Structure 1
Amino acid sequence: MKAFTLSLLALALISTSCKKSKSNGTVDLPNAELKTRVVTSALTLPWEIIYGPDNQLWVTERSGKISRVNPETGVITPLLTISEVVSNGEGGLLGMALNPAFSTNPWVYVVYNYGSTYREKVVRYTYTNGTLNSPFVILDGIPASSIHNGSRLLITADQKLLITTGDASNAPNAQDLNSLSGKILRVNLDGSIPADNPTAGSRVWSFGHRNPQGLVEANGKIYSSEHGPNNDDEVNIIQKGRNYGWPNVEGYCNETNEKGFCTTNNVVEPIVAWTPTIATCGLTYYNSDYIPQWKNSLLLVNLKASKLIQLKLNDAGTQVAESTDFLVNAFGRLRAICQSPEGKIYIATSNGNQDRIIEIAK
């Protein structure tokens, strides 16, 4: 385990709020001095990281491994390797969610790709005596591909499971309400279809998505980050039954050939978009007093641009008021992010060799 004395903000883009650096390489900001520390560098292509109710970091790796990592010591405790997982291209074992009522029902949900014809399924395990057992299939038969599999999971405040799916290399399916591709799906925790979904008997909550890989609930809203093609990576506010445009619309409704489709199909525009793309990925909402500069912000990690972005929201949580970059090229590709109850941030890299979990703390 290697510790870094450089502060997080020393690695940020120049900001008017920065004061003079101390001799030890840290940077003072009003109310905080932040540092990074490598918790472990013994992972290979981690995809999800969750701060669990046991004060351990729960991690998936694309090869099929699920582990717990001690955030203080970096010790990795394997829980399960799912032998059915097939890691093809960007596929493999991907998202994970823990039941918020973990002490009552210690359920762990994962989504992964499998099979020679390559499909995707969501499976619920039960955590007992340090192991994951009793697999229960929540949803199967989701189209998969070597790219564009979505696969972020989120259990919402109303006890529903949201599942992001990519277009699985078949872009028109994102507009097809009979396809599970290019959607955000919503099911009950047992996999059944909620009665208040937009269309009776359908798992589809929203559609017209290319490859959403970030998902968080805050301010009574669902925020999602999504990969664009060569342009228009996005962050969206997800609304019930709404169309997000792909493949007919890329980013905002600002091109002549997009405007008519947007009007006719009631397309929701992103709250922020990036061209050229940065490969938006894991997303969390920060509102802790531990790092006051980050309050009421979305924290977004990305792959291609290799940085963490703070998206400061307006008071209503409906717009991005300010954007600041951190950790630019400091740790390579960043895949996932989570936070502890105390307010520390943990991020996971996706470089393919000696991948790391990094702690951001005061």
Structure 2
Amino acid sequence: MSRSRRPLALLTALITAAAMCLASLIAAAGPASAASATPIRGVQSGRCLDVSGASLKPGTHVELYDCHGSANQAWTATSAGELRVFGTQRCLDVGGKSRKAGAVLESYTCNGGANQHWTIRADHHIVSALTGYCLDALKGATANGSRVSVWPCTTGTNQQWTTTSGTDTQAPSVPADPRVSNLTCDSVTFAWNAATDNVGVTAYDVYHDGQLITSVSGSTLSTGLTVVPGAAWGLYVNARDAAGNVSQASATVPITPPQCQVDTQKPTSPTGLSATASGTTIDLRWTASTDNVGVRAYDVLRGGVKVGTVNGTASIAPVTTFTDSGLAARTTYSYTVTARDAAGNASAPSTAASATTGAACTDAVCSVTQVTTDTDIPWGLTTLPNGDVLYTRRDAHTIVELNPTTGAKITVGTVPGVDETDGEGGLLGLAIAPTFSSDHWLYIMHTSTTDNRVVRIKLNGTTLDTSSEQVLLKGILRNKFHNGGRLRFGPDGKLYIATGDAQNGDNAQNIDGLNGKVLRINPDGTIPSDNPFKNAVWSYGHRNPQGLAFDSQGRLWEQEFGNSVMDETNLIVKGGNYGWPACEGTSGTCGTAGFIAPKHTYPTADGSCSGIAIVDDVLYVACERGERLYREVISGSSLTDVQQLFVGTYGRLRTVEPAPGKALWLTTTNQGDKDSIANNSNEKIFKVTLGS
């Protein structure tokens, strides 16, 4: 070692003697939980939180040191929020109860003070209850002996810590009876009943609709949240233990906060509307409206029918342009635009503007045809050799064959063993191999009662032969959200599988696990011999990937949901680490050595993108919250000439797939996509004919 340490025998004797001296005190006080001890490792340094010199003296400073598994690096997270070391004899303590940024940390006799209470958050920050600051490697130092402190929280990896021990694999129970109170325009109190665990619950992670809001200690059963006026959220909570095991999510509690002020004043009408045709596309421009509070959106009407919406946020005004694509040739179209504020007050329509399309399509999109509707959510979709469309219905657990010419549909069968998650689990991805004409296998990813899994079942004619089912891969952890689910066969004949992190970012960095990954298996479920880690993992460090597509060079592109900052499109390489949870898009510590940067990112308000498809080396990205389809030209290893299509025209878009000829299948996901209730949707499948 690079510094002097007491001999192990002497250290052991001292610890034993001290433990005996303190035995009556510990027995009387009792530990706050019986949680197992685990090292706390710095993400940036790779070194462990260490009591200097393995000293039991109260006030000994805490530092970084090479991980070696001794008692002075074995920390126990209690349900009361303490981090105990040396068994239960000392606690991590903000020295001198200082509230200053940079206050150093010590090992001190446990006393229950706020200076010894910590919250281990799902984003790998450890927060002091006394200061509200984060556990921090002082000045970003990484060397042995570097001091640790508390400092205002940042996204730096010197404030990110892992606590997984690997010795406890049992997840806590589901937190019960989630409920809200004191709902106002900008705040709410969210509460739940305690979960149980074989060792002890150390934290609760609070989400809305798959997005982490906050983490609190395991002894905290309610928290105040900041909410957005008028925004419909679904709140729920997961429990977490010291080993990093995460429970299944609680039930969802829907909320819609009222507006903060009574607002009955309409925005002014947009002015200066102009319409310019280019081929079969018309571009609209107008002058911004004004409002006493603020314009939140513009609705675009064609012939009096809404065909698009341009959204803004509370801090960013919506843009004043719109592109209407896929129109008929030699046709005159008339448009108006109305403005809306956050309270839903709508302006009078603008003065109309008209334009006549050209004689032929010279644009990226030439036409859009609605092929069918469905009362459930179309999720996985593929084209059969005969040109028919086969798609999964997520919440109904059935597969439908659609003749896109006549619109005729046949339910080929119900997939056995599918379970829902009261969120985004269920019957998900669907793919066929190039050998389908001879072997008739359908490849399916779905949620079961215990996990997510990949199976294959034969399609005999128009009947799903459930007796032929083979489970190819199981043990992919499930949760309410973050299940991934997309399947894609590569030009190498292998099946690629997108899996979510199951609402536990640690899963994404564990190369021995199946979550937060792109997986690769043979069609029979065996592991290809050239996989990088000799298991199913092909790439890792993903949060919730739901899009996979191959370009003409055989390269794999992937689309991934971020948390609250940005979504990302990645070019996947064998064995690559894409950074989650330390890195979200380009936010956080994405420049860390070994992390692979995304090729394109999207603000979550304009993104939340699920499916992708590639036609003629142009990438198409279907977005939900963003209500748009991105078109991006693949140039080398970059994405260029990015265009936004159908903004607000069809609502939330989930799946996009290549269609025969130069075309796409495109599906919506506008209703019931977060509740697992069958047949409570009204979705559409379109055929998009592409142009230049």
Q: TM-score range by the shorter chain?
A: 0.7 to 0.9
Q: Is the 8 A contact 2:590 2:597 kept in 1?
A: no
**1:62-101 equivalences in 2 (<5 Å):** 62-63=394-395, 64-88=397-421, 89-101=423-435
Choose from 163, 174, 179 the match for 2:508. 174
User: 1:22 aligned to 318, 331, 341, which one?
Assistant: 331
Following the alignment from structure 1 to structure 2, what is the Cα–Cα distance between the partners of residues 232 and 36?
29
Q: Give the whole-Å Cα distance in 2 for the aligned partners of 1:276 and 1:217.
A: 24
Are 1:8 and 1:36, in contact at CA under 8 Å, matched by a contact in 2? no
CA apart distance, 1:22: 3.1
Within 1, Cα distance between the matches of 2:326 and 2:628?
18
Q: Give me the whole-angstrom Cα distance separating, in 2, the residues matched to 1:270 and 1:232.
A: 11
Q: Does 1:299 align with 2:651?
A: no
Asked whether the 8 Å contact 2:378–2:393 carries over to 1, the reply is yes
How far the C-alpha of 1:49 sits from its partner, in A, is 1.7
Q: In structure 2, how many angstroms separate the alpha carbons of the residues matched to 1:43 and 1:332?
A: 16
Could you list the per-position Cα deviations for residues 238-284 of structure 1 after superposition, in whole angstroms to 9, with x for gaps in the alignment? 000010000011112x64x443xx21xx1110000012341111101
1:3 aligned partner: none
The answer to whether the Cα contact below 8 Å between 2:511 and 2:533 also exists between their aligned partners in 1 is no
CA distance in 1, matches of 2:481, 2:689: 34
CA distances 1:137-182 after superposition (whole Å, capped 9, x unpaired): 1011110111001110011111111111000011111001111110
Please state how far the C-alpha of 1:350 moved relative to its aligned partner: 0.9
Which residue in the other structure is 1:49 paired with?
Answer: 381
Q: 1:21/1:87 Cα in 2 relative to 1: closer, same or farther (>3 Å)? A: farther
Aligned-residue CA RMSD (Å) = 2.4
Residue type of the alignment partner of 1:91: G
Q: TM-score under structure 1 normalisation?
A: 0.87
Which has the higher mean CA deviation after the structures are superposed, 17-26 or 338-347?
17-26
Q: Does residue 1:37 correspond to 2:365, yes or no?
A: no
| Residue 349 of structure 1: aligned partner | 668
Bigger Rg, which one? 2
**Residues 490 and 554, structure 2, Cα contact 8 Å, conserved in 1:** no
Q: Shift of the alpha carbon at 1:106?
A: 1.4
1:286 counterpart = 2:619: no
Structure 2 residue identity aligned to 1:31: T
Q: How far off is 1:333 after superposition?
A: 1.0
Counterpart AA for 1:213: Q
* CA distance in 1 between partners of 2:461 and 2:326 (Å): 48
- Secondary structure of the 2:558 match is strand
Shift of 1:341: 2.5
How far apart in 1 are the matches of 2:507 and 2:608?
Answer: 22
Aligned 1:179-328 pairs, distance under 5 A: 179-200=513-534, 202-218=535-551, 219-252=553-586, 255=588, 257-259=589-591, 262-263=592-593, 266-277=594-605, 278-287=607-616, 296-314=617-635, 316=636, 318-328=637-647
Per-residue CA deviations over 1:156-209 (Å, capped at 9, x if unaligned) read: 111111111000011111001111110111110000000000022x11100000
Q: Residues 8 and 273 of structure 1: is their aligned pair in 2 closer, same or farther, counting only changes over 3 Å? A: farther
Task: Give the Cα–Cα distance (whole angstroms) in 2 for the partners of residues 166 and 193 of structure 1.
Answer: 20
Q: Give 1:222 shift.
A: 0.2
- Normalised by the size of structure 2, how large is the TM-score? 0.46
State the alpha-carbon separation in 2 of the partners of residues 241 and 42 from structure 1: 39
Aligned to 1:164: 498
Aligned-residue identity in percent: 32
Q: Is the 8 A contact 1:210 1:227 kept in 2?
A: yes
Give 1:189's aligned amino acid. P
> Aligned pair in 2 of structure 1 residues 356, 168: CA closer, same or farther (>3 Å)?
same
Amino acid in structure 2 at the alignment position of 1:272: H
Moved over 6 A (4+): 17-21
Q: Distance in 1 between matches of 2:495 and 2:326?
A: 41
- Check conservation: 2:381, 2:431, Cα contact below 8 A: no
SS at 1:103 equivalent: helix
Gapped regions of structure 2 (runs ≥ 5): 1-278, 283-306, 309-320, 335-355, 672-680
For the 8 Å contact 1:49–1:348, the answer to whether it is kept is no
Aligned counterpart for 2:453 among listed residues 102, 105, 121: 121
Letter in 2 for 1:327: F
Verify the 8 A CA contact 1:307 1:329 in the aligned structure 2. Answer: yes
Secondary structure of 1:173's match?
helix
Match of 1:147 in 2: 481
2:609–2:623 Cα contact (<8 Å) kept: yes
State the partner residue of 1:131. 463
Note closer, same or farther for the CA distance 1:152–1:355 as it changes in structure 2 (3 Å cut).
Answer: same
Report the AA paired with residue 333 of structure 1: R
Residue 8 of structure 1 and its aligned partner are, at CA, apart by 8.2
Distance 1:8 1:58, change over 3 A: farther
User: Per-residue deviation at 1:31?
Assistant: 3.0
Q: Flag structure 1 segments of 5+ consecutive residues without an equivalent.
A: 1-6, 288-295
Given the superposition, is the C-alpha separation of residues 358 and 225 from structure 1 closer, same or farther in structure 2, using an over 3 Å criterion?
Answer: same
Residue 113 of structure 1 and its aligned partner are, at CA, apart by 0.5
